[in-house]
Structure 1
Amino acid sequence: MDKQIEKHQSSIFINNMVESAIRIGLLLVLLIWTYDIVKPFIIPVLWGAIIAVALMPLTLKLANALNGKRGLAATLLALLGVALLVIPLVMVSGSVYDGIAGLTEALQEGSVKIPGPTQRVAELPLIGEPLYDVWALFASNMEAAVTRYSEEIKVFVAAVAGFLGSSLATIVMFIISLLIAAGFMAHAESMSKAVQTVSVRVVGKHGEEWAKLTAATVRSVLLGVVGVAFIQSLLVGSAFFVFGVPAAPLLTFIVFVFGIAQLPATLVVLPVILYVFSVQDTTPATIFTVWVLIAGLSDNFLKPLLMGRGVSIPMPVILFGAIGGMISAGIIGLFLGAVILAIWYELFTTWLKLDQETVSEPAEPELEQKAQSENN
């Protein structure tokens, strides 16, 4: 009798296990298919949500000035964002394309003439003599120089072509994300309630608090990291344009990327300073040096002004987020990765603090009872 009961229970267990496995398998297949369907939209929707959170205070102020027309305010901000984010990329891509097209045409016609280096170039520390030799070879015998450095030239051209393709994809992604952000900002109340409901359901009683912390972190990173990098690149780039530095749009964009990755702008500025001193007189070169050095160090006083209070993100977190995001999602991942990793850092540190508070709370009555027993 016992064996029959045991056999029956075993049969029920096996049936339940098989049925559960089938259900889990079907659910897994459904999730995989769903992910494949929504995968192309994850990054633009996520980036649109981040932009909407960062621009929401400005949207409310603009809506009040427009008699409560929040949809119009969101649309205007989206169009302004398209102009501010897309125009620099278009300038950089256009500058690189024009330079390559002109160089290609000149090479085909055989009319490329590079002025020879001055003695100042050879006197530069560390890189002076090698740079002088390479420059002199290209100036005196272009065909021999191209033949000698053909592999390096091919790698450079491939990198530039990849950059142009990535820039075009990024422009399209930015436009889509800004349109999505405009929709989020126009329906902010319903979106906010939905996010808070999901947060409470997933996290628990601290869900609403964590949702507010996430919004504060997004604003802090976009203003204190992306905003500072944008202002710094404008200050440095204006010097490049005023003093006629070659490839000024591309160098300005590199300064912008370095600013987001929390790398010092002086890494870009110092070689340009050496170049300016080698081709211009001492007075304008000195003015250029002072200008770009002050602009390159401007992040030291801009960050305390723009970075949100109470939200302090360590530099390695931003650096890893920016580099990892760029590797995984291209140029737009440069912004997205820094924001996402900063959010996770803040949520993790907050969770640790909550855990410590939870552990310390039960200990207090025990300490009181122990103190009372010692007094007795």
Structure 2
Amino acid sequence: MENPMQHNQSKLFINNMMESAIRIGLLFILVVWTFDIIKPFVIPVLWGAIIAVALMPMTQKLERALKGRRGLAATILAFAGITLLIAPFWIVTSSIFEGISHSIEVLQSGEVDIPGPTQKIADIPLIGDKLFEAWALFANNLEKAVMHFLPQIKSAVSAAAGMLGSSLGTLVMFIISLAIAGGFMAHAEKSAAAVNTVAVKIAGTHGEEWTTLTAATIRSVLLGVVGVAFIQAILIGSALFTFSIPAAGLFTFIVFILGIAQLPPLLVVLPLIFYVFSTHDSTPATIFTVWVLVAGVSDSVLKPMLMGRGVDVPMPVILIGAIGGMITAGIIGLFFGAVVLAIWYELFMTWLKTEEQQNANAEQANEAEDKLVSLPVED
């Protein structure tokens, strides 16, 4: 028969367990509701934090130039970033709309004169013959060519429209993120103190070191990935505009995106080289080829110079984290992947140092014990 004391303890345990389960369930529901409420703001806030960390050194320099006015410095940088976002987008969209408008006007006038392909096009390996036939069809019988390639044309137009709409949404998101970054930069000390407090609560004594490592890694990725992609896009874009390549703004933007995605810009450059050789003389075409090829491989020189600066983590670790993070979580994964791998690298190195320190302490203890044993015993 059950003891009354045991019965009371069992009843108390069940009551406590049920009460704890109810509290945990209500807390879980509250967390889920809270996440649903703040979900639309998570990505802009994360991007705002990343941008603020990356631009903080520039903000501090501008603050000193403005005699300590941190808010004004942060506002100027935020507006400058918004301008730098809107200007290229406006150039690219204007270039696209001008091309579409010109094409519509030419089609409506009926005076379509497409130059036929040269033998150089047919000599291109693998795709030369098919490209020559398609180009010749458009040059000789445009209406038949349009009807023949109508499904592909519809797919291309629909993909371009979807890309344009997605780009517009991304632009708006980054404008909001820059405004948030301006707020973070204006109150950098309070934001950093709050982050350090949370990091110490989560990771203990190493939390503050990891927040410093996170900031340095974000700046390293921004310089080594986004910065190099921007430089490459400028170098290649200047060649495209110099040689009056159609839709030069759009191709420059694609080169920039490929650079961020760690894909070679030669994917865009090589078809343009064939186009220039088919439409220009040999000398300017050769100059264009050398220009864009040198710009296309410039990342092999720029990345070792820019990536990993200010961080004790090796460049391959940061680069692998950035690429893997981008494959997993998109563009924002560039930064989170690099940060996660950098922290794991630091944990691994700390573990190795701890093992070495323990071995060194053991050796010192053994040496001290041997010395004590070897001392003569006094009578």
CA distance in 1, matches of 2:359, 2:324: 38
Instruction: Give me the identity figure in percent.
Output: 55
The list of structure 1 runs, each at least 4 consecutive aligned residues, that deviate by more than 6 angstroms after superposition, is: none
CA distance in 2, matches of 1:68, 1:298: 39
Superposition deviation, residue 106 in structure 1: 4.6
Superposition deviation, residue 230 in structure 1: 0.6
User: Per-residue CA shift, 1:63-85, capped at 9, x if unaligned?
Assistant: 11111111111111111111222
Report the secondary structure of 2:301's partner residue.
helix
Superposition deviation, residue 264 in structure 1: 2.0
When residues 244 and 323 of structure 1 are mapped into structure 2, their CA distance, relative to the original with a 3 A threshold, is farther
Which ranges of structure 1 fall in alignment gaps of 5 or more residues?
327-333
CA distance in 2, matches of 1:3, 1:134: 93
Q: Which residue of 2 aligns with 1:330?
A: none
1:320 corresponds to 2:316: no
Output the aligned Cα RMSD.
2.1
Q: Which residue of 2 aligns with 1:45?
A: 45
User: Per-residue CA shift, 1:286-345, capped at 9, x if unaligned?
Assistant: 11011111211222222233221434245343223334443xxxxxxx2x2211111111
Moved more, 243-252 or 364-373: 364-373
CA distance in 1, matches of 2:78, 2:119: 52
User: Per-residue CA shift, 1:344-364, capped at 9, x if unaligned?
Assistant: 111111122223333444443
Tell me if the contact between 1:260 and 1:322 (Cα under 8 Å) persists in the aligned partners. Answer: no
Q: Which residue of 2 aligns with 1:342?
A: 338
Report the secondary structure of 2:205's partner residue.
coil
Tell me if the contact between 2:59 and 2:185 (Cα under 8 Å) persists in the aligned partners. Answer: yes
| One-letter amino acid of the counterpart of residue 197, structure 2 | T
CA distance in 1, matches of 2:124, 2:261: 29
Q: Which residue of 2 aligns with 1:98?
A: 98
Alignment of 1:78-97 (within 5 A): 78-97=78-97
Tell me if the contact between 2:51 and 2:181 (Cα under 8 Å) persists in the aligned partners. Answer: yes
Superposition deviation, residue 2 in structure 1: 4.1
Tell me if the contact between 1:217 and 1:343 (Cα under 8 Å) persists in the aligned partners. Answer: yes
Q: Which residue of 2 aligns with 1:207?
A: 207
When residues 222 and 18 of structure 1 are mapped into structure 2, their CA distance, relative to the original with a 3 A threshold, is same
Tell me if the contact between 1:86 and 1:174 (Cα under 8 Å) persists in the aligned partners. Answer: no
CA distance in 2, matches of 1:167, 1:98: 18
CA distance in 1, matches of 2:337, 2:187: 26
Alignment of 1:32-181 (within 5 A): 32-104=32-104, 106-107=106-107, 110-181=110-181
Q: Which residue of 2 aligns with 1:253?
A: 253
Tell me if the contact between 2:221 and 2:318 (Cα under 8 Å) persists in the aligned partners. Answer: no
Tell me if the contact between 2:321 and 2:340 (Cα under 8 Å) persists in the aligned partners. Answer: no
User: Per-residue CA shift, 1:173-232, capped at 9, x if unaligned?
Assistant: 111111111111111111111111111111100111101000100111111111111111
When residues 286 and 176 of structure 1 are mapped into structure 2, their CA distance, relative to the original with a 3 A threshold, is same
What is the TM-score of this pair, normalised by structure 1?
A: 0.91
CA distance in 1, matches of 2:318, 2:72: 37
CA distance in 2, matches of 1:124, 1:220: 41
Q: Which residue of 2 aligns with 1:285?
A: 285
Tell me if the contact between 2:320 and 2:338 (Cα under 8 Å) persists in the aligned partners. Answer: no
1:232 corresponds to 2:232: yes
CA distance in 1, matches of 2:365, 2:324: 48
Tell me if the contact between 1:262 and 1:315 (Cα under 8 Å) persists in the aligned partners. Answer: no
Q: Which residue of 2 aligns with 1:302?
A: 302
| One-letter amino acid of the counterpart of residue 324, structure 2 | F
Tell me if the contact between 2:321 and 2:339 (Cα under 8 Å) persists in the aligned partners. Answer: no
Superposition deviation, residue 164 in structure 1: 0.6
1:368 corresponds to 2:364: yes
Tell me if the contact between 2:200 and 2:208 (Cα under 8 Å) persists in the aligned partners. Answer: yes
When residues 82 and 194 of structure 1 are mapped into structure 2, their CA distance, relative to the original with a 3 A threshold, is same
CA distance in 2, matches of 1:91, 1:258: 19
What is the TM-score of this pair, normalised by structure 2?
A: 0.90
When residues 116 and 364 of structure 1 are mapped into structure 2, their CA distance, relative to the original with a 3 A threshold, is same
